Amino acid sequence: MNIQNMGIIERKERERQEVRSLILEAAQQAFIEDGYEKASIRAIADRVEYSPATIYLYFKDKNEIFFAVHELGFEKLILEMSDAIEGIKNPLEKLRQQGYAYMKFALENPAMYDLMFIQNAPMEAIFDNEEWACGHRCFELICTIVQECIDNKLIKISGLELATMSIWSFMHGLVSLKIRNRFKMFPQEHIQQLMSASVEQMIELIQHD
Q: Model confidence over 101-147: pLDDT tens digits?
A: 999 999 999 989 988 888 766 566 666 555 677 888 899 999 999 99
Residue among 175, 206, 203 nearest 94 (CA): 203
Mean pLDDT, residues 48-64: 92
Same domain, residue pair 33 and 86: no
Q: What angle do CA 187, 193, 199 make, to 5 degrees?
A: 130
What pLDDT, on the 0 to 100 scale, is given for residue 10?
79
Same domain, residue pair 111 and 145: yes
Cα 200 to its chain centre, rounded Å, is 22
Contacts of 135 (CB under 8 A, 6+ apart): 74, 126
The three-state secondary structure class of 102 is helix
Domain count, the chain: 2
Same domain, residue pair 53 and 73: no
Per the prediction, the chain carries an average pLDDT of 86
Same domain, residue pair 54 and 140: no
Percent of residues, the chain, with pLDDT higher than 70: 89
> Is residue 17 scored above 60 in pLDDT?
yes
What pLDDT, on the 0 to 100 scale, is given for residue 50?
92
> Could you report the per-residue pLDDT of 34-53, keeping only the tens digit for each?
888 889 999 999 999 999 99
Confidence of residue 8 (pLDDT cuts 50, 70, 90): low
Contacts of 44 (CB under 8 A, 6+ apart): 23, 26, 27, 30, 55, 62, 65
The separation between the first and the last C-alpha atoms of the chain, rounded to the nearest angstrom, is 68
Which CATH number is 176's domain given?
A: 1.10.357.10
Mean pLDDT, residues 179-205: 82
DSSP string, 104-137: HHHHHSHHHHIIIIIS---THHHHTTSS-HHHHH
Domain housing 12 = 1-59
Contacts of 121 (CB under 8 A, 6+ apart): 31, 36, 66, 115
> Could you report the per-residue pLDDT of 78-102, keeping only the tens digit for each?
999 999 999 999 999 999 999 999 9
Same domain, residue pair 52 and 81: no
What pLDDT, on the 0 to 100 scale, is given for residue 200?
87
Same domain, residue pair 37 and 114: no
Which CATH number is 2's domain given?
A: 1.10.10.60
Give the end of a domain, one of 59, 75, 94: 59
- In this structure, the number of other CB atoms found within 10 A of the CB of residue 174 comes to 20
Give the end of a domain, one of 41, 59, 77: 59
Same domain, residue pair 30 and 122: no
Give the end of a domain, one of 59, 77, 104: 59
Same domain, residue pair 35 and 112: no
Same domain, residue pair 189 and 127: yes
Same domain, residue pair 160 and 119: yes
Same domain, residue pair 79 and 110: yes
